[in-house]
Homo-oligomer: A and B are copies of this chain.
Amino acid sequence: MSESALPANPYGLKNDRFIRALLREPIDCTPIWIMRQAGRYLPEYRATRAKAGSFMDLCRSAELACEVTLQPLERFDLDAAILFSDILTIPDAMGLGLTFTTGEGPVFARPLRSRHAIEQLPIPDPEIELRYVMDAVGTIRKALDGRVPLIGFSGSPWTLATYMVEGGSTKEFAHIKGLMYSDPASAHLLLDKLSTAVTDYLNAQVRRGAQTLMIFDTWGGVLSPDKYREFSLAYMQKIVNGLIRTHEGARIPVILFTKGGGQWAVDMADTGADGIGVDWTADMSQIRQQVGHRIALQGNLDPSVLYAPDAVIEQEVARVLHTFGHGTGHVFNLGHGIHQHVNPDKVATLVNAVHRLSRPYHQA
């Protein structure tokens, strides 16, 4: 049996719309999940977070990570769950010392600033140094009990490298781009190591129960087109090539998301991924014209629409559905993570509107 002939739902999922949309198989309506759906906009999340202590303590507890992963599913009719974790677990496991400061975001105690430091970086064994993530994946998968599929994820090598070299968040990317332009060989060494680490990490998530994988390339969009291909996309390609694509008789779809990367959709589709995340600045109808039916699109509502009255949310949902058009291959999502000040009731409006308004697009 060829891979493409594998059944979409060998797990006996109660809701397999999300996986079917990614594999471009017929569905009844468009599936939706929301980036950062387990997050600060939910009062129950804030309660668990307060109980946990620090953000990393929350990530490190399989039980609490499971608890917050399931919270949005209790409130909303979402079609997928995503592992609660952070994109910076790998650099932390490599020994850079991750903490989160209020207002400033992630900070590494030991940023990378030399060739020697890059050479010395260990590749973490996901079942040892990142075992807390693997335990969370196993716990969540079991707790989901086939309700919806579980998405595992990682940051992209380029995105991880930006934080590791800058030492935290940045607007100018002076250190990482300085490295890229003045010592490209060292930048490539770092990205190559990160590709191996990310591949190992994602494959371990699949073995523990992740049913779809997503690579968040949050900062690929700050590169020029040729540098994007050389320093970000090439390493996502390497990961895609090394991923477990079928497991226990099921296809494991992989989604690439480069924020600001809509113009590079064709290059992203050429990697052989199953889906591309699209932010709200891109026009999905144009992208669909360019990539055809060979890859699914995920997106792309502006997260700020959730500040609008219900009627406007429904109108904007209708617009996004219209830009994708008829047929399977669309996973609805925001174009970026949900904002923390959104009223949760607006998310219910959104989810219900997507399911209701998308049905006509799936009729023969």
Contacts and interface: CB of A to CB of B under 8 A. Distances in A.
A298 to B, nearest CB: 16
B178 A308 contact: yes
A282 B339 CA distance: 28
Contact of A281 (B223, B304, B312): B223
A267 to B, nearest CB: 12
A225 B174 contact: no
Nearest to A308: B181
B281 A177 contact: no
Interface string A296-311: 0000101111011100
A174 B339 contact: yes
A341 B341 CA distance: 35
Interface in A266-295: 280-283
A319 interface: yes
Interface in A82-121: none
A44 to B, nearest CB: 22
A173 interface: yes
A302 B174 contact: no
Q: DSSP class of A's interface residues: helix, strand, loop or mixed?
A: helix
A263 interface: yes
Contact of A181 (B180, B226, B281, B307): B307
Query: What is the total number of copies of this protein in its complex?
Result: 2
Given A262-B263, A281-B223, A181 B312 contact: yes
A300 B339 CA distance: 32
Nearest to A222: B281
Contacts of A344: none
Interface in A201-238: 221-228
A172 interface: yes
Contacts of A177: 302, 304-305, 307
A4 interface: no
Given A174-B307, A263-B262, A304-B174, A312 B280 contact: no
A312 B224 contact: no
A262 B307 CA distance: 27
A2 interface: no
A182 B281 contact: no
Contacts of A178: 304, 307-308
Contacts of A155: none
B263 A282 contact: yes
A242 to B, nearest CB: 28
A302 to B, nearest CB: 5
A253 interface: no
A226 B319 contact: yes
Given A308-B182, A312-B182, A281 B174 contact: no
26 contacts: A172-B303, A172-B304, A172-B339, A174-B304, A177-B302, A177-B304, A177-B305, A178-B304, A178-B308, A181-B304, A181-B305, A181-B307, A181-B308, A181-B316, A182-B307, A182-B308, A182-B309, A221-B281, A223-B281, A223-B302, A224-B281, A226-B319, A227-B302, A228-B281, A262-B263, A263-B263
